[in-house]
Structure 1
Amino acid sequence: MFEQLKAELIGRLILTGEEGYHDRRKIWNTAFDKHPAAIVVCKAASDAVAAVKFAKEKEFAVTIRGGGHHVAGTAICDGGIMVDFSEMRKVTVDLERRVAIVEPGATLGDVDAETQKYGMVTPTGTVTETGIAGLALCGGTGYLRGKYGLTSDNIVSVRMVTADGEHLQVNAQENPDLFWAIRGGGGNFGIVTSFEFQLYPLGPEVLALDVMYDYKDAKQVLRNTQAFLRTAPDEVSFNMMTFQMPAAPGVPESLHNKRVIVIAGLYAGDKDGGEKAVQPLRELAQPISDNTGIVRYTELQSRFDLAAPKNVAVAGTSLFIKEFNDEAIDALLAKIELLPRPSLLVQFWECHGKMNRIPSDATAFAVRDASFLLCFDVDYPMEEEKTFKDWIESAYETMLPYSVRKTSYLNTVRNDRQITKDTYGDNYAKLASIKHKYDPTNFFRHNHNIEPQA
C-alpha cells in the first residue's frame, strides 16, 4: 500500500517493524505509547505535501511531530501516519529583514543558538528541547513576553500544507484569515513547513534574575509579586516555581529536602538600568540565595532544562489566574500541602506588558488579561499514574474559581474539548468558521481540536 507514498518522498518512510521504527515513534511524554502505521521522516516540505495527499486518499489519520514535547502527546496516534520533522531543524537569520527563517523541527535551543550569533532574539520559551513549531502555534511564553509579546505574536509569515494538499504562503497579506488563526490556534489548520519570526537586538549577555526564597514565606512572596506587577516595566519578565530541593551531591546540606520558591527571569533592556528594575523581586522576602547577575542569554535559556527530563511519563495542567489575592493564595498553598510527591513542580508565570496589551481578538490567542499563568507538572512511575493524575485534576478544580474565564495555556494541558472552547472564548466561533473553510472534514484533529462549523 505504501509503495506509492515511498516513491514520492525525498525523505524516508518507516513502517511498523522496520529498523528505527520504535525509536522514531517515541515522544517526550512516555505516558503515550502509541504505534503509527507509518512514519514519514521529512527532508523537504514536499514530503509533508505527499504525506497529506496520501493519507487523505487512503483515509489515514495524520499527526505532526516537531519537537514532540507536548504534555498531551499530540504528535502520535495509533494506526495513523506521523509526519516527522525532527530532521528539518535549519535556522537562517535574515539581518536585513530582521527575521529568522525556521524549519518546523527546530528546537528553541536551535533558534537561540543561531540568532545569538548575530546578537538577535525572538521570543521563545524556557526549555531548549521544546519544539518551536508547537510552542509558536499555541502561544509561547518566555522571558521576552513583557517586552515583545508571545512567540505567536512574532510570527511574520509561514508556509503551510492544508488538508487538501495545497502549499500556501500565509501572512498578513496572503491568506490573512489563516494568519489570524495560526497565531494561537494550534495545528488545526494545516502543517507548517517553515516559519518566519521577528527578531530584536539582545545579548549575547543579559541581566538574569535568579533568587531563591524559603517556602515558608510563600504567601508574602506571592503577595509582593502581585503588587510588583501593577507597575512592572515591560523589560522584566519572570517565572516562579516551588519544589523540594533534592538531597543530592552539589546541593548544600542546609537545603537538602527543603521546599523553596525560585524566581528566574530576564531584564530585556540596557543592563545598566536593569539592576534597579529587578531589585524589588530580590526583596520579596528574605532570600536564601541570590545569584542575579550577567550571564549569556543561551545559558539563561537552558537553566531549567532539567525540569523537563527525557523518557518519563508526565502529567500537567494549567490555568490563567486573574489575580493572586489572599483567598486564591490560601487555596493554592493548602493544595500544595497535599502533594503526592514533594518534587512536583508548581509554576507561576507572570503575565504583563506587551503580551497583555495586544487585543484579545487581534490573533487567535485570546487570554490577554491574566496576571499569572499557574502550571502544575509532575513526572511519575506508570504504576502510580492514577494517583498523580487525580491530584493534577483536583488541583485544576481547586483553582478554577480563581481563573480567567476557565482559560488554560494549551501548550501545558491535556486534550479536552471544553477546556479548548473555554480558552478560545469569543474567538472560538471565528476559528471554527476558518477551520470549516480550510479543513471541513476535521482532517487535522490530533490537537487541541477546533471543530469545523460553517
Structure 2
Amino acid sequence: MAEFDETRAVWNAMIDRKPAMIVRCRNADDVVAAVNHARNNDLPISIRAGGHNVAGHAVCDEGLMIDLRLMRNVTVDADNRTASVEGGALWRDVDEASQAHGLATPGGLISDTGVAGLTLSGGIGWLRAKHGLSIDNLVAADVVTADGKLVHTNAKENPELLWALKGGGGNFGVVVRFDFALHPIGPEVMFAAPIYAVEDGPGPIRAWRDFLAKHGDLVGSLCEFSTAGGEDFPEESWGKRVYTLACVYNGDAAEGEALLQPLSELGNMVTDFSSRMNYCDVQQLFDTLMPAGEYRCYWKARYLSELSDEMIDLAMKNASAAPSDNSISSLWNFGGATAAVAAEATAFGDRSMGWMYSLDGVWSDPGDDAANIGWSRQGWESAEPYGHHGRAYLNFPGHGEDGDALTRATFGANYQRLVKIKIKYDPENRFRFNQNIQPEV
C-alpha cells in the first residue's frame, strides 16, 4: 500500500485521488496492453508523465492510471537537429541531452515538469520569442489511441492527429514518443533579473513593457511578483513584495548582455541577479520555488489583449494582497515567433494575444485553502476586462472547475475540428482527465 500511495502522489499536495489500478509502463507495448485492459474493463484512463499539472490530471479516482515515468529516454540527432523523447521524460532530460550538442527546443520554466503535459497544451518557455512554443517544434509523435493501436503522426502521416496534439491536450491518446526540432542555443545565455520593490511603484514595469515592444522577437520574458527572502536578498528587503523583470535573450549571450542592461537602470533595485549563465542552469532556476509534494497549489491564467497601465496597476494590487508569501503572479510577454503562427495552423489557436497574466497560489496549511484559492480566482476574475476573448492557458487551469465553457472559449474556431478528431480517436471519451473535448455527435 505504501508503494501504491507513493506512485499515485503528484506534485500538488492538494491532490489525493485513488485510481483502481496503476500500470507502470516501460515501453509502448506496455502502454498498448494497459489501454486494452482499460477498454475491456470499461475504465477511464489518466496519464502520468511529470505529474506537474496543477489540477492533478495525471491521477484519477476509480480509473486506470498509466504511469510513464520509466520511459524517459531522449535521443538526439545532432546532424538533423531533432530529439526523440519518450513520453515520461522531464524537461531537464531533454535540456541535458540536447545541450550536449549545443542545441535546445522550447520547454518550460521548471525542469521537473513533464514534457508531455506541458507540450500538449502549448508549452510557454524562455525561447518562445525566437522559436515559438513547444508545440511549434513538435514534428512527429507516436500515440497509443483508445482502441489500443500505436499510431504514428507527422506532417504527411495522420496529419490531423499531429495538428490536434499541438495544443489539444491529452484528449487523443497516450503519447509515447515526441520528436522535436532543435535549435542552436547556449551553452551560455544571458539571463536578466533586476528586482524592484512593489512599494516603489510600477515605473520599471511600464518601461519593461515598452522595451519588449521593440525587442520581443528576441527576448522571452515575464515580470514575476513574489516576496523577498533568503540569503540571496539583502536582509532589509525580507518580507517585502517585489517584482523581477526576468528575461532570457534568445541569441548570443554578449549581445543579450548589452541589450538587456537598461532593464537594470530603471530605479532603485532591491538586488540584481542578472548574469550570463549556462542554459541548463537557467532552465532549473525556478525549480526550488515549488518542490514536489511540499505545497498546496492553485493556479489560474488569462491571456491579455494588451498590457495597459491599468492592468499593471491591478497586477501590483493583487500581488500585494497575496495571503501566502510563497505565492507568485506574473505578466508574460508574447510576440516574435509565437505570434507568427496562424490561428488555424495548430489546435492551440489564436496567437493575437500580446500578454498573459498568471496567479500561482502556493501555500502549506490546508486551513488556508479558502483564502489562497480565493486570491487566485479573484485576481483572475478581476483581470477579465483586460482579457483576450475569454481565453486562458490550459496548462494553468485551476482545478478544472471552469470546465467546458472555458475550454470552448479558449479553442474558439478550432473547437469543432477538435471534436471531429476526438470522435475518430476516442469516441468513448476514455481520455477525459484533462481540459476535456467531449466527443459530441
Give yes or no for TM over 0.5.
yes
Q: How does 1:297-312 map to 2 (within 5 A)?
A: 297-311=279-293, 312=295
Alignment check: 8 A CA contact 2:142 2:151 kept: yes
Number of equivalenced pairs: 436
Give the aligned partner of residue 293 of structure 1: 275
Task: Compute the displacement of 1:450 (Å).
Answer: 0.7
Cα distance in structure 1, aligned partners of 2:232 and 2:266 = 26
Partner letter of residue 411 of structure 2? Y
Alignment check: 8 A CA contact 1:226 1:323 kept: no
Task: Compute the displacement of 1:250 (Å).
Answer: 4.8
Give the aligned partner of residue 249 of structure 2: 267
Alignment check: 8 A CA contact 2:20 2:61 kept: yes
Task: Compute the displacement of 1:216 (Å).
Answer: 2.5
Local SS of the residue matching 1:410: coil
Q: How does 1:348-427 map to 2 (within 5 A)?
A: 348-380=331-363, 381-414=365-398, 415=400, 416-427=403-414
Cα distance in structure 2, aligned partners of 1:286 and 1:249 = 20
Alignment check: 8 A CA contact 1:245 1:343 kept: no
Local SS of the residue matching 1:27: coil
Give the aligned partner of residue 5 of structure 1: none
Partner letter of residue 417 of structure 2? K
Task: Compute the displacement of 1:233 (Å).
Answer: 4.6
The unaligned stretches of length 5 or more in structure 1 are: 1-16
Distance verdict in 2 for CA 1:259–1:331, change over 3 Å? closer
Cα distance in structure 1, aligned partners of 2:243 and 2:54 = 23
Task: Compute the displacement of 1:109 (Å).
Answer: 0.8
Q: 1:190 aligns with which of 145, 152, 173?
A: 173
Partner letter of residue 170 of structure 2? G
Q: Deviations over 1:337-377 (max 9, x none)?
A: 33222442011121111001101111011241222211111
Give the aligned partner of residue 138 of structure 2: 155
Confirm whether residue 443 of structure 1 aligns to residue 426 of structure 2.
Answer: no
Moved more, 103-112 or 323-332: 323-332
Confirm whether residue 52 of structure 1 aligns to residue 66 of structure 2.
Answer: no
Task: Compute the displacement of 1:434 (Å).
Answer: 1.1
Q: Deviations over 1:158-182 (max 9, x none)?
A: 0001111110001110101111100
Confirm whether residue 240 of structure 1 aligns to residue 223 of structure 2.
Answer: yes
Q: Deviations over 1:117-167 (max 9, x none)?
A: 111101001101100110010111111000000001100100001111110
Local SS of the residue matching 2:236: helix
Q: 2:237 aligns with which of 224, 231, 255?
A: 255
Alignment check: 8 A CA contact 2:130 2:217 kept: yes
Give the aligned partner of residue 198 of structure 2: 215
Q: Deviations over 1:365-393 (max 9, x none)?
A: 12412222111112222122122112211
Distance verdict in 2 for CA 1:147–1:128, change over 3 Å? same
Give the aligned partner of residue 111 of structure 1: 94
The unaligned stretches of length 5 or more in structure 2 are: none
Moved more, 200-209 or 322-331: 322-331
Task: Compute the displacement of 1:318 (Å).
Answer: 0.5
Moved more, 266-275 or 101-110: 266-275
Partner letter of residue 181 of structure 2? Q
State the Cα RMSD in Å.
Answer: 1.5
Moved more, 150-159 or 366-375: 366-375
Alignment check: 8 A CA contact 2:226 2:319 kept: no
Alignment check: 8 A CA contact 2:361 2:375 kept: no
Distance verdict in 2 for CA 1:268–1:63, change over 3 Å? same
Higher relative contact order (CA 8 A, sep 6+): 2
Partner letter of residue 49 of structure 2? G
Moved more, 218-227 or 84-93: 218-227
Q: Deviations over 1:284-315 (max 9, x none)?
A: 44333333222111111111112222212111
Give the aligned partner of residue 12 of structure 1: none
Alignment check: 8 A CA contact 2:188 2:277 kept: yes
Cα distance in structure 1, aligned partners of 2:191 and 2:92 = 18
Give the aligned partner of residue 310 of structure 2: 327
Task: Compute the displacement of 1:42 (Å).
Answer: 0.6
